[in-house]
Structure 1
Amino acid sequence: MASEKEKQDMAWKAIGGLVGLVTAWAVKKILGFAWEKATGKKPPADHDSLEIGLGEAIAYAVVMGVGMQVAQIVMTRTARKRYDAWRAMKEAAREIAS
């Protein structure tokens, strides 16, 4: 039988995974929109295509890589803080009730 700590860790892993998926999807859409507004071109769909300049492909990869990583760090930390606060509140309520 799983301990309370193991259950909380599994819950956090599920929440963290979901936050990661949603963040990645949203950031890809936002950065793609920003790329199109800044360059006037659609984001490169196929980085291996020789029709896309090397500089453009590298620039897009850098923008996406940095943007994704920063968003993941911010969202994961924010979600973890909220989860820990919720868990602490739940434990305090349990102590008051007993």
Structure 2
Amino acid sequence: MSNIVAKLATTGAALAASFIAKKATDGTWSFVTGKEVPDNPDDPDIDIKEAILFAILSGALIALARMLANRQTTKVLGAAQGKSSAQIADES
């Protein structure tokens, strides 16, 4: 049962982190470039440099947020269950 709870908590944290990172990406993009976020970077009308930079920025921020959320969730679950973070990570 605790394995299911750990997976649900980790998944929920990763989804929340992705949502927050997406908002941060959009805000950062608008602040740095002064432009709106590309609706669809795959659109051929979007400049290729702009599409690449947006993909790099969004990918990096989302991956970082998800990794941090997973680490923190594992740490909290481990403390709550009296296990080390490594034991919780191995169960997931």
User: Smaller-chain TM-score range?
Assistant: 0.7 to 0.9
**What is aligned with 2:4?**
10
TM-score by length of 2: 0.85
Residue 70 of structure 1 is aligned with which of 64, 68, 74?
A: 64
TM-score by length of 1: 0.80
Deviation at residue 50 of structure 1 after TM alignment:
2.0
**What is aligned with 2:30?**
36
Q: Which amino acid is the alignment partner of residue 54 of structure 1? A: I
Structure 1 residues not aligned, in runs of 5+: 1-6, 90-98
Could you say which structure has the larger radius of gyration? 1
Q: How many correspondences in the alignment?
A: 83
Question: Quick one: distance in 2 between partners of 1:60 and 1:53?
Answer: 11
Structure 2 residues not aligned, in runs of 5+: 84-92
> Does residue 58 in structure 1 map to residue 52 in structure 2?
yes
Q: Which amino acid is the alignment partner of residue 75 of structure 1? A: A
Deviation at residue 87 of structure 1 after TM alignment:
1.2
- CA RMSD across the alignment: 1.2
Percent identical residues: 24
